[in-house]
Structure 1
């Protein structure tokens, strides 16, 4: 298996950890970010533009905020025809289809591969990759996927990864909002909210995320592992996909409203657990 030269576009909360692990795996890497200071100190070459980053790359990785930004940056990058585009941003079903069309327009090999995990797993190389795309691209991207993730699931044609990402995130957002509401109810009923976390701990109703996010809510330790604005964006993407498929997603709709309320209250750049602050 040959070692690809990789360009990574987007060194935010997720991209920085991913970049460090790609470098640690011995893969030649060039990075670009709109805020250049976020691309520094990663051990990679730093490009001044997306086009400079993509020049000569075998694989171009995008890990950006939404489909609109991804499309804008890739058009600016103009990778050479035949380059493998490893698209790892969460963009939803319609966004994924739009980016696949862009790949066809530019002559790129499109691999749709969003990830499950937040800042910590990204830094530890422990992401789960939901990969989908042409089988003949797998060998090219596998060194990158091995560097950033603990597990890769290949799901079929491009687009399946983005679909499963929405399904998985629907559960994540449900858990986070559910924990926030349970803690709020406990407080309103005159209980110590910690008693909820204690009573479910280790039992059938518990999950690592319940304790992790519940503890963050109660301690106020809201350093963004996954920012609240991103949770609100993903909730909208999940709703759009459900609506298009004829599915009523009432819980996600309620969670989105609560996330957006917390954003109005000024908590958008905090961790998604900050939804608790606005209950």
Structure 2
């Protein structure tokens, strides 16, 4: 691999578009592809927009997947079969859970490429700002070769073990994110239904040990009705189900997540799935 690897980024949605712009800004040759082609076209000024997966990955040093779930990632990489270079690295950054990661690792073996499992912490704005935290896991021998890509998309990279460890840590982190979001929604709803201005809850915790920037950010969005998706509720529901699946596989009794999953599902069923996950508040 050259000092500046050629990158094929597959999936230019909410996260992938910002990541693509930062990879290009770092001076790395970039091809992009998206199943809905119009979503890739705005990147034409900084990247080569490929008409097919095969075209995107042909000759690429790093193939980065940022797609919705394990099924979409697997289907996309099947389209790359026969076009991947012998030294190519598959940088899998979608949130697909434990079983999904194992499935994709097996596919990587079939395709004959090195597999790095590297989901990220952060949503739309950190992706656009190049400020994601990368939870990377995979073979030691490819880590230095991935550094230019990971440095472009993130503020820091944690290497946490063999492939699969990154996805396990991502589930634990998302469990905390969802607990905070749902906890804020419930506290606001309780304040409201006890006859008070719900903003009093945010004011009461502000600046103290119980506060966090995320509490104020999501709480303010809930009360302002500002639900431009940084992390869509439908995706949060998908990830909540992955967390519950992981807990069951580990024999762990997760107390909060089943209720959080039900509240997310209720909001999705009410038609809020394309809104930010803060829209769970709308069904409280």
User: Into which bin does the TM-score normalised by the smaller protein fall?
Assistant: over 0.9
C-alpha RMSD of matched pairs (Å): 0.8
Q: Secondary structure of 2:72's partner? A: helix
Q: Is structure 2 residue 40 aligned with structure 1 residue 39?
A: yes
**Which of the residues 224, 230, 240 maps onto 1:235?**
240
Inter-partner Cα distance in structure 2 for 1:41 and 1:20: 10
Q: TM-score, normalised by structure 1?
A: 0.99
Q: Is structure 2 residue 192 aligned with structure 1 residue 191?
A: no
Q: Match of 2:166?
A: 161
Q: Is structure 2 residue 76 aligned with structure 1 residue 73?
A: yes
Aligned length: 279
Inter-partner Cα distance in structure 2 for 1:227 and 1:69: 17
Q: Match of 2:124?
A: 119
Inter-partner Cα distance in structure 1 for 2:16 and 2:160: 23
Task: Kindly report which structure 2 residues correspond to 1:1-279, keeping only aligned pairs within 5 A, or say none.
Answer: 2-42=3-43, 43-78=46-81, 79-279=84-284
Q: Secondary structure of 1:162's partner? A: helix
Inter-partner Cα distance in structure 1 for 2:151 and 2:130: 8
Q: TM-score, normalised by structure 2?
A: 0.97
Inter-partner Cα distance in structure 2 for 1:262 and 1:80: 44
Inter-partner Cα distance in structure 1 for 2:144 and 2:7: 14
| Structure 2: runs of 5 or more not aligned | none
Deviation at 1:77, TM superposition (A): 1.6
Deviation at 1:105, TM superposition (A): 1.0
Q: Deviations along 1:238-277, whole A, 9 cap, x unmatched?
A: 0000000000112111111100100110000000000000
Inter-partner Cα distance in structure 1 for 2:236 and 2:275: 11
| Structure 1: runs of 5 or more not aligned | none
Question: Does the 8 Å CA contact 1:81/1:106 hold for their aligned counterparts?
Answer: no
